[in-house]
Amino acid sequence: MEPAEVQVKVTVTRKVTVLQLKDVPVSALVEPGQSVVISVEPATVDVELTGRPGVAILPEEARQVSVMADCAKLVAPGTFVVPLRVFAGNDVGAAATPATVRVIMTLK
C-alpha cells in the first residue's frame, strides 16, 4: 500500500563567483577646499567581491573597485574611526577587511 502523503526536501544552490583582491588602496573623501592633511591606517585593505548567481565577475570590474573613507563631515584636527565604502559596480557585492580605518586629520 502506498503512503497517502510523501514529504520531499529539495535544496537548490546556485554557484556564486567570489574574487579576493589584496592590498586595495583606501582613498579619503573630503569636502572641496578642505585644507587638511589625512593619514589613513591601514592604507590598504582586502576586498571580497561576490557576483550574483550565474554571473561571472569580469576582470575590468575587479580593476574598477575603489575603497573610500568618507571624511567630508569630520572636523580637523583629530583621529577618527571611519567605516569604509566599497564601490564595485551594479552586479557585484563587495566587502572590505577591515571594515573600518583609522583616519588622522591635521590642518595644513
Mean pLDDT by 10 residues, the chain (108 residues): 77 80 96 92 96 79 92 94 92 93 95
The model's pLDDT over 7-30, given as tens digits with 9 standing for 90+, comes to 888 877 677 888 999 999 999 999
* CATH number among 2.170.120.30, 2.30.40.10, 3.40.50.300, 3.30.460.10, domain 18-107: 2.170.120.30
DSSP string, 45-71: EEEEEEEPTT-PPPHHHHHT-EEEEE-
Q: Where do we find the cell 580593476?
A: 63
State whether residue 6 is helix, strand or coil.
coil
Global confidence as pTM: 0.80
In sequence order, what are the beta bridge partners of 83? Answer: 100
Distance CA 57, CA 92 (A): 7
